[in-house]
Chains A and B, each alone.
Chain A
Amino acid sequence: MEIDLFSVITEWLPYLLGGVVVTVGLVASALIIGACLGLPMAIGQVYGSRPVKYVIGLYVWFFRGLPVLVLLFMFYFTIFPLLDPNIDAFVVGAVVLGLRGAAYQSQIFRGAIQSISEGQMTAARSLGMSRVMAIRTIIIPQAVRIALPGWSNEYPNILTDSAICYAIGVAELLTRTSQIVAQTYITMPIYLLCALMFILLNLAGMRVIAYLEKRVAIPGFSGGSHTGIV
């Protein structure tokens, strides 16, 4: 088999890079959905009434207990067709990864909120703040910063999980990789190229998150150990 590997790769590289864009879009929307739902859920789980806690607990149990693949099939073949028969697979993938991420992220945020001592809440209340105001201005700004190291672990998890969207045909990196393999009959080099891209995405994302962590850090606050926070 005489195929010029280099020319094949240069020919297909733009297509593969398009997959990188889709993957990044998938991961970014999943992270954003996850954070937007996860933080309120964490607050609900710590400060909410009993039924609220129960419902959120059930949600977390459901989404953490099921494999991504089953969730994707469930939403793609059963739940979303009820809403809109022509739903785009990308939307399903992003929503499923986001809802699942929310379950995980809520636990990260919950741990962070619980690590802030109750005395702060009491102090805020004694200063005349309402509970909502205390949560919004005292608890959340600290909790989000404490949660960042744990939250940064969410990124590689969602990145690797995003590849599972291959199963419902989202044109992300892995899907395009297997399309190229099917077209060119070049297998290992293309797979390894795909692996390299995932690893680079992973490293690049972690860099961005590390930068973010530094940006929002308050001097003298946080920094690795959370034991200093009283």
Chain B
Amino acid sequence: MSFEAAPFIDFCINTLFPALADGLLITVLLVLITAPFGLAFGVLLAVGRVYGKSYSHWFCRLFVGFVKGCPLMLLLFILYFGLPTIPYVGITLDAFTASVIGFICCNSAYNSEYVRGAILSVKEGQLVAASALGMTKRQAIMYIVLPQALRRAIPGLSNEFIYLIKYSSLAYMITLVELTGAGKLVFSKYFEPGVFFVVGIVYLALITVTTVGANALEKKYAVPGTQKR
């Protein structure tokens, strides 16, 4: 295999970059739509696991256990290929919706672990103090525990966000052409060996920028004196 730079650069500009730009847009959309829901459901799951009565507690535990135990790809297959085959209730999802739902499940399950750890790290005496001040349990969780817990969970949550960017590539396996898929299609057509390196560079750039942003966020929302150490 010979490799020359000039034709490859031409190839990149004319063929690869436009294709990757379309794919990148889908990847970014996937991530941006998933992340808020993943966070919201993650917090709900965590609260359910820590404070929930038996039903909600066990539902949350089972859900997290199932999603963490089975590969995300299988979950996507179930949502995309499996759901339409259920007799009578068959739900047909398009690839984008199925991916978003699958990613929300996965993201929220992992987020809930970080939030749960953070909730448990808030001293129990604070809940007692809150109820002594006449707050209901719901108020105490909303206004006392979560504001502290969420701040402590930021490093884990941003880590999970970075995972989400990477796992969004799996949407290609259920036919959604996002960044990886765009690269794969171009590769299958032209057999240009450098394609996946260019795709890799795009991912590395995305993730490096996100990491810098996450660190800034962590610093911004750190409340002096509430750090663990």
Contact = CB atoms under 8 A, between A and B. Distances in A.
Contact of B66 (A65, A166, A195): A195
A67 B82 contact: no
A67 B1 contact: no
B208 interface: yes
A62 interface: yes
A166 B199 CA distance: 20
A65 B69 contact: no
Interface residues of A, number: 37
Contact of B86 (A167, A178, A188): A188
Contact of A187 (B65, B66, B82, B193): B82
A194 B73 CA distance: 12
Contacts of B173: 69, 166-167
Given A68-B166, A167-B173, A198-B74, A156 B69 contact: yes
B167 A67 contact: yes
B25 interface: no
B68 A69 contact: no
Interface residues of B, number: 39
B70 A160 contact: yes
6 contacts: A67-B165, A67-B170, A73-B183, A156-B68, A166-B173, A199-B66
In the A-B complex, the 9 residue pairs with the smallest Cβ-Cβ separation, listed nearest first, are A163-B71, A199-B69, A67-B169, A74-B196, A67-B166, A195-B70, A187-B85, A160-B71, A69-B169
A82 interface: yes
Summarize B's interface: helix, strand, loop or mixed.
helix
Given A66-B166, A67-B166, A164 B74 contact: no
Contacts of B78: 188, 191-192, 195
A65 B70 contact: no
Contact of B197 (A78, A162, A174, A203): A78
Contacts of A230: none
A77 interface: yes
A73 B1 contact: no
A164 B1 contact: no
A15 interface: no
Given A77-B196, A174-B71, A191-B74, A181 B81 contact: yes
A156 to B, nearest CB: 7
Interface in B61-91: 65-66, 68-74, 77-78, 81-82, 85-86
Interface string B164-181: 011111101100000010
B204 interface: yes
A23 to B, nearest CB: 10
Interface string A186-230: 011001101100110011000000000000000000000000000
